[in-house]
Amino acid sequence: MIVSGGHKGQRQGSLGISAGLWRKGFNVILYSYRGWPGSDRAPITFGIKEVLELEAVIAFARKRIPKARIGLLGYSMGAVVALLGAAGEPGVQALVLDSPFSDLRTVLEDNVRRSIKLPGAPVVWLAGLLFRLRTGCRLSQ
């Protein structure tokens, strides 16, 4: 099982579930996304570029154990990463998704309204411009 964490996706946050999987006989790979300690300082792209990191982890697993059965587990942003990774990797045999989002813009607008009590759309529009300048990605990707 390859475990993809949420947007604050350091591998340490997945130790509990990973230990449980290991006790049940699964081999487990944990990884951290770029932009977190022990990695480069690339900005988080909410799954857009993180799926490339997952693809590299899958390739690593296949190289180490060519006939390995690959399963993906992800939560929040990691669930989106796992879903996108599985779509591009026909050999994935298991997929466990906890709380994926289908529309990043809607999630961000809801969070803005709830947390800072401002209209979500204009704040997210501005954040989207800054996101594109910083990452080269669009929130709608």
Question: What domains are defined for the chain?
Answer: 2-101 (3.40.50.1820), 103-141 (no CATH)
CA angle 47, 53, 54 (to 5 degrees): 80
Q: What is the C-alpha separation between 87 and 26, in angstroms, rounded?
A: 22
Q: For residue 102, what is the enclosing H or E element? A: none
Q: What is the C-alpha separation between 118 and 53, in angstroms, rounded?
A: 34
Bin 70: left if φ > 0, else alpha if -120 < ψ < 50, else beta.
beta
| pLDDT confidence tier of residue 87, bands split at 50, 70 and 90 | very high
Task: Determine the average pLDDT of the residues in 84-105.
Answer: 93
pLDDT at 93: 96
pLDDT at 111: 92
Whether residue 13 contacts residue 98, with contact meaning beta carbons closer than 8 Å, is answered with no
Q: What is the pTM of this model?
A: 0.86
**Amino acid identity for residue 131 in this structure:** F
> If we measure between CA atoms, which residue out of 46, 13, 44 comes closest to residue 31?
13
pLDDT at 123: 94
Task: Determine the average pLDDT of the residues in 21-43.
Answer: 84
**Mean per-residue pLDDT over the chain, rounded:** 90
| pLDDT confidence tier of residue 122, bands split at 50, 70 and 90 | very high
| pLDDT confidence tier of residue 44, bands split at 50, 70 and 90 | confident
